[in-house]
Structure 1
Amino acid sequence: MVLVLEKGASKSDIEAIEKAIYKQKKTAGFNAKKYNGAIKLTEDPLTIQIKLRDEWERDIS
């Protein structure tokens, strides 16, 4: 959106532009707490991470 504020604009023009700018809805962002505890793990998360990283370190000979 582009709003033009011309030189010599009245106070009511400036207020109208401010209302147009702040009327837009702000984005809330990502709510990570929503997914907290969603996956039930059977083993330690660090062990899982080590296993996944080891898959990339294969000996290609």
Structure 2
Amino acid sequence: MTIVIKKGDTKEEVEKLLLKLNKSFKKKKSLWNVYGKNTIEGDALEIQKKLRDEWD
């Protein structure tokens, strides 16, 4: 969606246009919400080895 703000627009008109823009955005999912945070402590290579051993 494109919003055109003209030089002579008042603050109220600009605010209305910006509100329309904010309403048009959908809430995006972040990777943190989908996958969660890493709760395993340790070195990244150690974690990778542990996970690989679990699959075997």
TM-score (norm 2): 0.51
CA distance in 1, matches of 2:29, 2:5: 29
Within-5 A mapping of 1:48-59: none
Superposed CA deviations along residues 15-47 of structure 1, whole A, max 9, x for unmatched, are: 1111012112220223113xxxxxxxxxx5234
Structure 1 segments (4+ residues) deviating >2 Å: 44-49
Partner of 2:35: 32
> What CA RMSD, in Å, does the superposition of the two structures yield over aligned residues?
2.4
Partner of 2:52: 46
Letter in 2 for 1:19: L
**Which structure's CA Rg is the greater one?**
1
Higher relative contact order (CA 8 A, sep 6+): 2
Letter in 2 for 1:16: K
Decide which structure has greater helix share.
2
Within-5 A mapping of 1:3-42: 3-23=3-23, 24-30=25-31, 31-33=34-36
The number of aligned residues is: 40
